[in-house]
Amino acid sequence: MSIGIFDSGLGGLTVLKEVRKIFPNEEIFYFGDTARVPYGEKTKELIIRYSKEITDFLLTKNINVLVVACNTATALALEELKAVYDIPVIGVIEAGVRSALSVTKTNEIGVIGTKATINSEKYKQEIHRRNKDIVVYQKACPLFVHVVEEGLLDGEIIESIIKHYLGDFDDKVDTLILGCTHYPLLKKEIQKIYPDLNLIDPAMETALDLKKVLTENNAAENKGGHVKFYVSDGVQNFRNIGSMFLDEEIEDIELIKL
């Protein structure tokens, strides 16, 4: 079994990290679309087109299962990918929702993500599909991605941006879904400002979804645990900053023109 994982860039490495913990011996192909990052403000049509281009590429590596490790691509392209391709396709939204529902006590859940993710209402729909009684508050936080990519993970700037976005609704919810793979890097700072909030990172739960799929297909096997990375721009930058997300050196990496 070979696992394909893709994201608009670096963020999906937080998902890869969890997958690696459960499957240290599987062969994994990771694609980061660094030429066209960020996805969060693109249209649905364009995100579907880019997601298909990447999936077509990963299929040439004979992947048997695909993880869409990007909330925006999951929100806007997952249905299309599932309809078009024969292999199992796993997104991050179901995992995040399941996790949040198991934790909330007040039945009031907050969701933060990119503009495209929030406008799609996919998190809200998935929450209500499972439990109609949950009150959902949503907020797009487009600056978070850029602040994380700048490495400004603490200090005055990120503090004022967190308060700007979350000040409105922190007293309304007891649980907050970090609906963008960049946001877990802000977990510590958000928790410092809002210590009572349950913060949900869908990455770990997504890895468990993958485990379920592999178990159902009796497909887990020892392929030596090699991870091959592909990016569409900036190999050196991905190698440097990627290790911050992954907590592991990024070695075998190749530039792909899409």
CB of 160 to a second copy, least distance (A): 5
Q: Which residues pair with 176 in a beta bridge?
A: 110, 199
Q: Rounded CA gap, 42 and 249, in Å?
A: 31
Q: Rounded CA gap, 248 and 251, in Å?
A: 9
Q: Rounded CA gap, 79 and 76, in Å?
A: 8
| C-alpha 252: how far from chain center | 22
The residue range among 95-103, 144-152, 179-187, 194-202 that interacts with a second copy, by the rule CB under 8 A, is 144-152
Binding-site residue positions for substrate:
7-8, 39-40, 71-72, 181-182
Which listed residue (147, 176, 204, 214) binds a second copy by CB under 8 A? 147
Which listed residue (22, 35, 197, 220) binds a second copy by CB under 8 A? 35
Which listed residue (12, 14, 16, 42) binds a second copy by CB under 8 A? 42
Q: What is the largest CA-CA distance in the chain?
A: 50
141 classed as catalytic = no
Establish if 135 lies at the interface with a second copy (CB under 8 A): no
Q: Which two tokens stand for residue 44?
A: 């649905």
Q: Which two tokens stand for residue 132?
A: 């109609």
Interface residues with a second copy (CB under 8 A) are 35-36, 41-43, 46, 142-143, 146-147, 149-150, 152, 156-157, 160-161, 164, 233-234, 237
Catalytic residues: 70, 180
